[in-house]
């Protein structure tokens, strides 16, 4: 005899019962999803999705404090952060994004050569199927005193959704990220 649904669930979670009786007639994929939902409910897991964000300093740049401070702020805000550190090639950002099914890539650059480093990046990431990934970049992005609006235009043309000047508050960036993720239904 089957007990209450709660008992059923527990037995199932503990692996002692293959399928709950009630799902005998469910079909294919829907069944699997259904099972997962119930599984989660019984385990008390939140239904909310935790987005994955990749951070790192791009190209040959060895600056790391900004990206470390940002990574910690993101973690504190509840994100899953894949922290790549310094001297990350654009290709590495792409392959890690594919592996981790990342929702966003937040790049830092402080040595002024980001434009050279990111030549062709947008095409490569599109080819890799990452067209939907949110892209931010921040730091000292060019050599010389340039109007921040010019810099923003330049990097948006390289595929970035948002471009931040130096000394941007991490909280502001994180608020923007939440907004952008919600708009894509990823949060």
Partner 1 sequence: MKKLRISNKRIDDDLLMKKRRAELDKWPTGKEVDFDEAVAYQKSLPDSKIWWKVMTKLREEGRMSVFPRAGTPILEKMIELCQGLRDSGVVLIPVTTDSYTRLGQYEKIEEILKECYRTGKPLLNGYPIINHGVKKTRKLIESIDAAFSPRGGGGEIAIASGMTTWGGGIGFLGFGSYSKNMTIRELVERSQNGMRLVGWYADRGVILCTDLHGWLPSAPFPLSVNIVCLIIEAVTAAEQGQKALYPLVHCMGNMAQDMAWIRLAPRLIREYLDKFGYKDTMIVGVCPSQTPLFPVAMDLGGAFAYLTYISMIGALSKTNAVDLRSIDEGAGVPTREANTMSYRAAKWIFDVVREQKIEIDVKDVATEEKVTETEVRAILDKILELGDGDIVDGTIKAVESGVLDSPWSPNVNVKDKVLGVRDVKGACRYLEFGNLPIPNEIKEFHRQKIAEREKLEGKKADYHTAVRDLWSLSKGKILGIPPYNQ
Does position 166 bind partner 1 by CB under 8 A? yes
In this structure, what is the dihedral angle of CA atoms 147, 71, 49, 122, given to the nearest 10 degrees?
Answer: 40
61 part of the active site = yes
DSSP string, 14-48: TTS-SS-GGGTT--HHHHHHHHHHHHHHHHT--S-
Q: Which of residues 36-95 bind partner 1 (CB under 8 A)?
A: 59-65, 68-69, 72, 85-87
Site string for partner 1, 124-143 (x = CB under 8 A): ----------------x-xx
- Per CB under 8 A, the segment of 35-43, 98-106, 107-115, 172-180 that binds partner 1 is 107-115
Shortest distance, position 63 Cβ to partner 1, whole Å: 8
Residue 162 CB coordination number (10 Å):
18
Q: Write a three-state SS string for 72-125.
A: HHHHHCCCEEEECCCCECHHHHHHHHHHHCCCEEEEEECCCCHHHHCCCHHHHH
Q: How far is the CB of 47 from partner 1 (least distance, A)?
A: 31
Backbone angles phi, psi at 135, to 5 degrees: -120, 125
Is residue 34 among the annotated active site residues? no
For position 144 contacting partner 1 by CB under 8 A, the verdict is yes
Q: Catalytic residue among 63, 117, 176, 180, which?
A: 63
Q: Which member of 47, 145, 149, 185 binds partner 1 (CB under 8 A)?
A: 145
- 53 DSSP β-pair partners: 81, 104
- Residue 131 or 148 having the CB closest to partner 1: 148
Report how far residue 148's alpha carbon sits from residue 161's, in angstroms, rounded to the nearest whole number.
15
Where does this chain bind partner 1 (CB under 8 A)? 59-65, 68-69, 72, 85-87, 111-113, 116, 140, 142-145, 165-167
Question: Which residues are designated catalytic?
Answer: 61, 63
């Amino acid at each position: 005899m089957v007990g209450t649904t709660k008992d059923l669930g527990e037995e199932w979670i503990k692996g002692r019962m293959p399928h709950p009786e009630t799902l005998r007639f469910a079909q294919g994929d829907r069944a699997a999803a259904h099972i997962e939902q119930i599984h989660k409910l019984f385990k008390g897991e939140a239904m909310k999705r935790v987005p994955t964000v990749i951070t790192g300093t791009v190209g040959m740049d060895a600056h790391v404090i900004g990206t470390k401070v940002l990574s910690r702020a993101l973690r504190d805000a509840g994100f899953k952060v894949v922290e790549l550190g310094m001297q990350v090639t654009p290709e590495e950002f792409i392959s890690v994004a594919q592996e981790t099914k990342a929702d966003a890539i937040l790049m830092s650059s402080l040595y002024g050569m980001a434009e050279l480093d990111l030549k062709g990046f947008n095409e490569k990431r599109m080819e890799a199927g990452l067209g939907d990934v949110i892209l931010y970049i921040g730091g000292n992005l060019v050599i010389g005193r340039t109007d921040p609006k010019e810099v923003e235009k330049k990097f948006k043309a390289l595929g970035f959704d948002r471009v931040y000047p130096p000394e941007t508050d991490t909280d502001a960036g994180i608020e923007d990220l939440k907004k952008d993720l919600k708009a894509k239904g990823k949060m």
